[in-house]
A and B are shown apart, each in its own frame.
Chain A
Amino acid sequence: MSRIETPVPDGLGCRAVTTHPDAPVVEVSGLVKRYGSTVAVNGLDLRVERGTVLALLGPNGAGKTTTVEVCEGFLRPDAGSVRVLGLDPVREGAQLRARIGVMPQGGGAYPGVRAGEMLRLVASCAANPLDPAWLLDVLGLAGAHRTPYKRLSGGQQQRLSLACALVGRPELVFLDEPTAGMDPQARRLVWELVTALRGDGVSVVLTTHLMDEAETLADQVVIVDHGRVVAGGSPQQLTCGSDGEQQLRFRARSGLDTSLLVSALPEGCTVDEVGPGSYLVGGRVDPQVISTVTAWCAQQGVLAEEMRVAKRSLEDVFLELTGRELRS
């Protein structure tokens, strides 16, 4: 205890603890967490590289929040190993919490506390906090400094909670459903903020069940269901399907002879007229393939309309992996 109670004079003293600049900021393997007979997390692996954004995506009850709370040191894992910033979140929780920022799900503030008071309280816990008044202003809470928490709108409460997570200048932040209950403007602000954090070298772990959020923000998306990782990778990798396979769709006059096109395309590519005048080129679509297709259209004297490289959306991938039935 005595070691962690020594006041840290500034951020440099703290950052010196970091084992290796290239070491992952979060390393979880084989994590198991049970509540009674319910298995919330069942052998989950996770790795977050420094300075990147990782989105944990999954339906309600998939184990996202449990995983995050284990990483924050609030829950003790039943099995598996967890290292966050090289520390054990349970045994070295006090050291860890001085270096991370946490936005718990559903916020958390005294009902009667004013927004400014709450943020100043959290700021007092940090060695080099951001200016609370400035932070409220950039988060669009300029008019709410003196507003009691219970009278803030849901989106304002979320932004205050986000401010609390960031005010201590953390090197790693955990955001549990950061945009839940926000209107589109506030959501856009949060997206810009996450992008700015990443740009400044802050690592971000966020949970969401919004596909566009994960797709827009994350370097790595990990899809979790029933406490397990069912897929992981960059949004591009996840939506490209296996072997980077994509589809090229275009519309043109119906009944074109496509055999010449097939022979001009690289091996493995297929061309089908899937509906009258609707053509589908399957296989590995690269710029060369597109160029071949347009050249062939020119030879045929037809204009290819609505040409697009059709990716699977992240939502398609998500529903494919986690099923379409409604979860409670």
Chain B
Amino acid sequence: MSTFEPGMFVPAPGRGRLGRMLLVQARTEATLALRHGEQVLLTLLIPLALLVGMTLVHVVALPEPRVNSVTPSVFALAVMSSAFTGQAIALGFDRRYGVVKRLAATAIPRWLLVAGRLLAALIVVVLQLVVLGAVALALGWSPTLGGIAWTALLALLGTLAFGALGVLLGGSLRAEIVLAVANIVWFALLLAGGIVVPLSALPSGLAAVVQFLPSGALAESLRAVLATGAAPGVQPVLVLLFWCVAGAGLAARTTRLT
């Protein structure tokens, strides 16, 4: 006696709706990122520790209220952690485990595989910024509405720029190498890439370079819009746009399924 009755598998193929594919993929990957302990450490716990620590512990000299200087740095760090480091490592291992090939074997168009990952990163970034923003408010952070609106736009741009670079890294090298490089780059940009140390406090030679890095452009413009509530400068926006396009363009050529 067979388990299967006639007619169960009569063919009716076809591609699903693109919007639904995108949403289900993004939701699945965002859920997985939030369920993964090391990812949560990287994307939420470390930025939270820095936010609370740098606000309450007076190791580095900062203008009062300290939380107003710390919050934009921590926001930039949160974006970089999720969209770049977390994304690159996840993609590196998803390729290793055959996930990317598995999905590529369905009716999902290739561009949607990347779009789904970027949307997942964006969902995580939004959650991060809401949690970090709430904690910052509790610590006395006093942003303007205009500052928050510009922050949303810059966070979107930053997520896309770092996300494209994360896909570029995670999609081209072996998983272990991706893991090492993504962490080293994260640490280097955190310390010397304009994230915790503002451009004005970096050696001038380094600052000249860092302003063109996505980390420098994002952190500096976040500091500016949250301090003044006014629109960001043109340069950091162009720098972020450049990294979006350059990262995505390169990734489209180098990304491999396995």
Real binding pair: yes
* Interface membership of A231, Cβ < 8 A: no
Task: Check A169/B13 contact, CB under 8 A, given A104-B105, A125-B106, A138-B4.
Answer: yes
**B138-154 interface bits toward A, Cβ cutoff 8 Å, 1 = contact, 0 = none:** 00000000000000000
Task: Check A109/B9 contact, CB under 8 A, given A7-B15, A14-B14, A94-B109.
Answer: no
Chain A residue with the shortest CB-CB distance to B105? A102
Contact check, B106 vs A113: say whether CB atoms are below 8 A apart: no
Complex Cα gap A4–B36 (Å):
35
**B110-141 interface bits toward A, Cβ cutoff 8 Å, 1 = contact, 0 = none:** 00000000000000000000000000000000
Contact check, B105 vs A200: say whether CB atoms are below 8 A apart: no
Residues facing A in B1-35 (CB within 8 A) are 2-18, 20-21, 24-25, 28-29, 31-32, 35
Residues on B with C-beta less than 8 A from A171 are: 11, 13
Contact check, B13 vs A164: say whether CB atoms are below 8 A apart: no
Contact check, A126 vs B13: say whether CB atoms are below 8 A apart: yes
Interface centre among B2, B106, B109 (most CB of A within 10 A): B106
**A122-160 interface bits toward B, Cβ cutoff 8 Å, 1 = contact, 0 = none:** 111111111000000010000000000000000000000
Contact check, A5 vs B24: say whether CB atoms are below 8 A apart: no
Task: Check A98/B13 contact, CB under 8 A, given A109-B97, A112-B32, A120-B24.
Answer: yes
Residues on B with C-beta less than 8 A from A10 are: 12, 14
Chain B residue with the shortest CB-CB distance to A103? B105
User: Could you tell me the dominant secondary structure of chain B's interface residues?
Assistant: loop
A328 to chain B, nearest CB (A): 21
* Interface membership of B98, Cβ < 8 A: yes
Task: Check A164/B109 contact, CB under 8 A, given A127-B13, A201-B11.
Answer: no
Residues on B with C-beta less than 8 A from A97 are: 104-107
Task: Check A202/B97 contact, CB under 8 A, given A94-B109, A97-B107.
Answer: no
* Interface membership of B102, Cβ < 8 A: yes
* Interface membership of B101, Cβ < 8 A: yes
Residues on A with C-beta less than 8 A from B2 are: 192, 195-196
Task: Check A189/B3 contact, CB under 8 A, given A108-B98, A110-B97.
Answer: yes
Contact check, B99 vs A109: say whether CB atoms are below 8 A apart: yes
* Interface membership of A256, Cβ < 8 A: no
* Interface membership of B192, Cβ < 8 A: no
B226 to chain A, nearest CB (A): 35
Chain B residue with the shortest CB-CB distance to A150? B97
Pick the residue among A99, A110, A195 that contacts B13 (CB under 8 A): A99
Contact check, A126 vs B99: say whether CB atoms are below 8 A apart: no
Residues facing B in A12-26 (CB within 8 A) are 12-15
* Interface membership of B108, Cβ < 8 A: yes
Residues on B with C-beta less than 8 A from A13 are: 14
Task: Check A98/B28 contact, CB under 8 A, given A124-B21, A195-B2.
Answer: no
B119 to chain A, nearest CB (A): 14
Q: Jot down 30 A-B pairs with beta carbons below 8 A, ordered by A.
A: A5-B18, A7-B16, A7-B18, A8-B14, A9-B14, A99-B14, A108-B102, A110-B97, A111-B93, A112-B32, A112-B35, A113-B32, A121-B25, A121-B28, A125-B107, A126-B15, A128-B13, A161-B102, A164-B102, A168-B14, A169-B9, A169-B11, A171-B13, A192-B4, A193-B4, A196-B9, A200-B7, A200-B11, A201-B11, A202-B11
Given contacts A98-B13, A169-B12, 6 further A-B contacts (CB under 8 A): A111-B93, A126-B13, A127-B13, A128-B14, A138-B8, A196-B9
The 6 closest A-B pairs by CB, nearest first: A108-B98, A127-B14, A11-B12, A108-B102, A196-B4, A102-B105
